[in-house]
A and B are shown apart, each in its own frame.
Chain A
Amino acid sequence: MKSFIGNPGRRSRQIGPFKRNSMNRVASRATLLALTCVIGLVALGFYSASSAAPFHSSSNGNGSALNPASSPSQTALLRRTGASTLTAAEALWSFRTSSYLPFLPPAGESVETFAVNGSGQCTTTPKSAFALGEKACAVSTGALLGSPIQRRFNWVNSDGRLASVTDITTSPQVNIFQIPNVSTARGSWLVNATSPDGAVKASAAFSVSDPAAPAVDLSLNMANPLQVNANADLVFTVRVANQGPDNAAGVVLTDSTPADTTFVGTAQGGSTFSCVNASGTTTCTAASLAKGAEVLLTLTYHVNSGVADDTIISNTIDVSSATTELDSGDNTFTSTSTVDHVACVISCPSNITVGNDQDQYYATVTYQTTDNGNCGTSTVSNPPSGSHFPVGTTLVTSGGQDGAACSFSVTVNDTQTPSISCPADVTATESPAGSGSAIVNYPAPTVTDNDPQATATCDHPSGSSFPVGNTTVACTASDRAGNTSTSCSFTVTVESLGGCTLGCPQDITVNNDAGACGAVVTYPEATSSQDCAAGTVTYSQASGTSFAVGTTTVTATRSTGETCTFHITVVDSEAPQVTCPANKTVNAPAGQCDVTVNPGTATATDQCAGVTVAGARADGGPLNGSYHVGDTTIVWTATDAAGNTSSCEQIVTVKDTTAPTISCPPNINQGNDPGTCSATLDPGTATGSDGCGIESVKGTRSDGEPLDAPYPVGTTTITWVATDQSDNTATCSQTVTINDTESPTVTAPADSSDSADANCQAPVPDYVSGSTASDNCTPTVTQSPTAGTMVGIGSHAVTVTATDAAGHSASDTVVFTVNDTTAPTVTAPADSSASADANCMAPVPDYAASSTTADNCDSSVTVTQSPAAGTMVGLGPHTVTVTATDDAGNSSSDTVIFTVNDTTGPVITTNGQTPSMWPANHKYKTFLVTDFVTGVSDNCSTLGVGSVVISQVTSDETENGNGDGNTSNDIVIAAGCKSVQLRAERDGGGNGRVYTITFKVTDAAGNVGTKTVTVVVPHNPGETPVDNGAHYTVNGTCN
């Protein structure tokens, strides 16, 4: 028999109130427990904290600790694997189970088992029942992966041993396990996804059976109260479970009636078992119990009356079956309860509020009180549950043994609306005849409501006068709760008796017209019945006339003799007018305080006669009696005949003309209270006296403060005034002088600095505001130099002085430093250039000397330049940086561009030859550049003879002059300008011809160097031609 499993991952743990019942089971699984201890510890801690069960249970004979009883709401953790319906107790036990499961797999992480096909491959068919020797497939999904390995498949056999371990390295991952083909492998298996610390993260259970040899693992657990009262029922709740792997046949549960008890009965969720009690033994049998099934049974025994406290009720239950039992160690369970009196505790429900029962002025209310199970049947509630509770609030009290009691209220609200049914229409006859009306009584409307005191109200009450004709009467019903019905109506018809009748109007009551002792009243005409002959109606006082205050009976009389009367009442609602005598003031003779005064009499008027007036002194004295110094009020009241009153007041003043006397306290001169700019003192009180009494002696401080307020340093004058009852006053003055005896302290702020401005100055900061000065009085803080004073660079001591009003002072100093942080300005001269020398270089000019500088503090700024003046630099632009630095090290720079240009043309060197052509036979002769040029030089460029071209050739004779044959193009410069053809020709009458050849060469900078040579044609051999200047020029086309 395997242990009852509360969680697939926790096979070896006992769950909830059910304790394992087999010591040998524990022993046989010691090794298993050791292997699974890591896993178990986690669950153990959890279960220990969460399984405070309401029932006590014990292991079989080993005396192990028992779980204490606790609240019923805290229940054990059970997991049903069977298909039977949960009983109430089972539901109780399983309550909150899901929220307490410690091994709920992480979201998305699972393990499932599947069948394996003939090829040894995992299929997609879920399977949880396998046979010995079969292969089982487990698939893990959502497993945490990583290195080191985070999950492993653990195959756990029915004994709780690890049969196989495989690392999980992928997700999903398939793992196929060969179930051993040995009988000991039968039972319930697990395949877990386990973390490195042994925690089961996901699990799947499956069974392994031997089809040829069915076997089961029945288990038995039991729960019962820890304590029980004598003469009370003791309920044992038994759980029978079949862990498989096969169905159990012929299951028998036996229980001997415990000592000191009497069998009461059994109950179960379903009808699996059939129970009988005979010969002191309860036997429950079931034809079969499916694998995985669980059944809850309750066996109730009554503890006999008189059983002594501390008596232990022990109950042992056995279960067995006809099928081979794999583990019988947990087929027996013994549990005990101790007889011990527990005081009754009754709990009442919360206050109840309901509506009335339909058509009832009450509600039938049921309620449930609860107790701690130790109250027996003694609990009595009044009114009992199910009683009729009247509308309103009823207090329910419950009491039981041990003085247990509680109470609550039941409030029943009348929520039903009444209904009303009006009587049929009523017809009456005019009465008396000719009155035009009749007193009509009609049946009361029918009111239907749950409230028997619901009433009907009609706008024309029964028994009232109804005029001739039809009158609609509307009625509604309402109950005590204020529920009001809809209205109904009926018609009252007063039929006239015929003959002539005169109907007067209703009585009229009005107030008098303003200022009149009456009122003009207009009343409706009296009405004549239809049977009257023609005639007129006269009235004893016409409508629209003034009716005197009081009630006037008006009689209407038809000319045919019929009469009727009605009343007009005018009420005097206007008060009389009263005028008081003028206030009167009388001076009392010197030394007297009472004077006899005649105040006069008030006058009164009213629109009606009979007004009276009376005066009353406030002090109760006679009006013409003696009046004391001061004001005496006389109230004059006028009252008319209707009792309307009005009043006015007159004041009689008797003045005391003698001033009081006053004596001031002595002047005060003292020091201030320590740490304050004032002193608290009692200046005393002046003393005043007067023959008629002093009204007050008051002192007023010159600073407006209360006399008991602290007196500030300096002099405060108190003006004392004594005032008698006639406001005569006497005054004296008292001075309170408080001397300031304490000196202030001052702490200047930290030293500071500022940057010099354009004038190399900075303003002295306001150190006053940053200084901390303290004094008993508020000191004045100043500084020297004052804030804003401009000072030059360097350090300056500023003195901060705190001076109080008494002339006490204290000083502190702060150093203000002005720093030159402004860099000088420098403006370099304009960019310049120079020609390269023979070495193609030029010296950098002295720009520093010609730069312009300025500085706020330094009049002799140091100016440097880089590169230094005189530095030889080559062709091109060169940036020269000119830097100005002041004495404070501030510096700034400007740049100027110095450009070295190649402005020197190259030099052509010739051989000095002047060829002479003869005879002047008009033939061309070619001259090459190299015939003359021997070299070219330049300061910056590397040039050769090959760079030289013929730029121009001239002749000092015309191209085709006289006596020089008949030719043209005497000069032909070849393409490329490297040679020229000159014609050997000269003017026949001339002095010979001089050709001048100009060579040209250009360097890289475009500078041009030229050189000329001459070729002559003498007129006669041996003669030297004279150059007569160019008369014919040919320019080369090469640059």
Chain B
Amino acid sequence: MKRSRTTRNLGRLVIVCAALFTLAALSSARTASTSVNIVNNSGKELRNLYLAHANDDDWSGNQLGSSTIPSGQSYTLSNVACDQSQVKLIGENLDGCFYYTVISCGGNATWTITADAPADCGS
């Protein structure tokens, strides 16, 4: 049984629309940026800070460079590219223990690492 020409044309229209919508959405996200203020209250100096899209492992380099975030101080990452709706962060203290968090794009986020925040030391 053959589908009617009308039906076929309708299908084509839907696909085109969906594609245009997707492109519009992507164009909007790529262009978004955010900042993250990291507050270190863990009691340990943070030496490395890494971030990646929430759904990828496209980890960045150490965002702190040669700096550190001593305990009791904060540090703000600006212009964090947010190609996705969320960004995941890893903060590493001087012991190599990792703190994890995910922030949403589109605003200024604050990540406070408290003393009782779980640190992934591998054990």
Contact = CB atoms under 8 A, between A and B. Distances in A.
Co-complex (A, B)? yes
Interface in B108-123: 120-123
Given A919-B50, A988-B48, A1021-B50, A963 B96 contact: yes
Contact of B59 (A965, A987, A988, A1021): A1021
B60 interface: yes
B98 interface: yes
B50 A967 contact: no
B114 to A, nearest CB: 20
Nearest to A987: B96
A967 B121 CA distance: 7
Contact of B62 (A964, A985, A1020): A1020
B97 A965 contact: yes
Interface stretch (B21-29, B76-84, B87-95): B87-95
A1022 B97 contact: no
Interface string B53-94: 000010111100000000000000000000000000010101
B59 A921 contact: no
Contacts of A1022: 61
A965 B96 contact: yes
A905 B22 CA distance: 58
A1021 B60 contact: yes
A567 interface: no
B100 to A, nearest CB: 9
B61 A965 contact: no
A967 B96 CA distance: 11
Interface residues of B, number: 19
Contacts of B98: 919, 921-922, 965
B61 A983 contact: no
Contacts of A1021: 50, 59-61
B16 to A, nearest CB: 39
Contact of A918 (B57, B94, B120, B123): B57
A983 B123 CA distance: 12
Interface in A310-353: none
A918 B95 CA distance: 17
Contacts of B95: 962-963, 965-966, 988
Contacts, number: 61
A919 B95 CA distance: 15
A988 B122 CA distance: 13
Contacts of A1020: 48, 50, 61-62
Contacts of A988: 47-48, 92, 94-96
B59 A963 contact: no
A983 B48 contact: no
Interface in A904-923: 918-922
Contacts of B120: 921-922, 965
A964 B59 contact: no
A918 B98 CA distance: 12
Interface string B31-64: 0000000000000000110100000010111100
A985 B120 CA distance: 12
Nearest to A924: B122
A321 to B, nearest CB: 150
B18 to A, nearest CB: 34
Nearest to A923: B122
B121 A965 contact: yes
Contacts of B59: 918-919, 1021
Interface-centre pick from A919, A964, A967, A985 (highest chain B CB count, 10 A): A919
A962 B121 CA distance: 11
A963 to B, nearest CB: 4
Interface string A999-1039: 00000000000000000000011110000000000000000
B61 A967 contact: no
A1022 B62 CA distance: 10
Nearest to A964: B96
Contacts of A1023: 61
B123 A963 contact: no
Nearest to B122: A922
Nearest to B92: A988
Interface in A432-456: none
Contacts of B62: 1020
Nearest to A1022: B61
Contacts of B96: 920, 962-965, 985, 987-988
A983 B122 contact: yes
Contacts of A962: 95-96
Interface string A552-590: 000000000000000000000000000000000000000
Given A921-B98, A1021-B60, A1021-B61, A965 B50 contact: no
A918 B123 CA distance: 18
Given A919-B59, A921-B120, 15 more contacts: A919-B57, A922-B122, A963-B96, A964-B122, A965-B96, A967-B123, A985-B96, A985-B122, A988-B94, A1020-B48, A1020-B61, A1020-B62, A1021-B59, A1021-B61, A1023-B61
Interface of B: 47-48, 50, 57, 59-62, 90, 92, 94-98, 120-123
Closest 3 CB pairs of A and B: A922-B122, A965-B122, A967-B122
17 contacts: A920-B96, A921-B98, A922-B121, A922-B122, A962-B96, A963-B94, A965-B122, A967-B123, A985-B96, A985-B122, A987-B96, A988-B48, A988-B92, A988-B95, A1020-B61, A1021-B59, A1021-B61
